Amino acid sequence: MTVLDILLYPDERLRQECEPVEDFADPAIQGTIDDLLETLAAHPACVGVAAPQAGCPLQLLIMDCGRARKPPADHHGLLVVCNPAILHWNGMEVGREGCLSLPDYTGNVVRATEVTVQFQNRHGQEAVLALTGFEARVIQHEMDHLEGKLFVDRLVSRKADLFRRKNYGPTKTKG
Ligand code: NI
């Protein structure tokens, strides 16, 4: 497994619309998933990474809210998420987000507080999960990457809602 280089804003490859994962038996796809897992593990307190951040334009993300500094009580642990679609969402909440592709900044972003997501796991098996709170926020952030969107696109005001990180340390949660 390999730790992949993360593309940094404003790299245009972060703006691609990603293609669905179709051949789950393809060793290259499975290898990319393993590399993304290794990449997530290499970034302390990082809770998610999307394939396009590693230059791979596939509808694929991995997340693990158990890696947060203060993990939410109801998280689902490690999720390998292929071809996700939000079936239902509810509520809205402002929260602070970071991103490996914008390592110097955090921002306040409005997200749904509850989402029901349909996806396929790394073996192509269908799943439906209801996610709430921080975990719902993380999957919405990562799914944005699959459409070429970044959290800075969702700020109401760059002046009021964008913050420069005070340090690069492992204490802040990033996705
Ligand atoms: Ni991100």
**What DSSP assignment string belongs to 149-160?**
--GGGG-S-HHH
CA distance 131 to 75: 8
Pick the CATH number of 12-164 from 3.90.45.10, 3.30.390.50, 2.160.10.10, 3.40.50.1980: 3.90.45.10
Rounded mean pLDDT of 14-36?
A: 98
pLDDT band at 164 (very low <50, low <70, confident <90, very high): very high
Rounded mean pLDDT of 23-31?
A: 98
CA 23 / ligand 1 centre spacing (Å): 25
Q: Which residue has the tokens 């789950």?
A: 24
CA 165 / ligand 1 centre spacing (Å): 15
CA 109 / ligand 1 centre spacing (Å): 12
Q: What is the DSSP letter of 145?
A: H
What are the structure tokens assigned to 29, written together? Answer: 């796809």
Tell me: pLDDT of 157 over 80: yes
Q: Where are the beta strands (DSSP E) in the chain?
A: 48-50, 60-64, 78-90, 93-98, 105-111, 114-120, 126-132, 162-164
Task: Report pLDDT for 151.
Answer: 98
Mean predicted lDDT score pLDDT of the chain: 95
Q: Which residue has the tokens 């809210």?
A: 65
Q: How many helices and strands (H and E) does the chain possess? A: 3, 8
- 72-76, 83-87, 109-113, 148-152, range with the lowest pLDDT: 72-76
- By residue count, the chain amounts to 175
Tell me: pLDDT of 146 over 60: yes
Task: Report pLDDT for 161.
Answer: 95
Q: Residue ranges per domain, the chain?
A: 12-164
The active-site residue, picked from 19, 114, 135, 142, is 142
**Alpha-carbon distances, residue 167 vs 99, 105, 142, 170 (angstroms):** 14, 10, 23, 9
CA 26 / ligand 1 centre spacing (Å): 26
- Is residue 142 among the annotated active site residues? yes
User: pTM for the complete prediction?
Assistant: 0.94
Task: Report pLDDT for 166.
Answer: 84
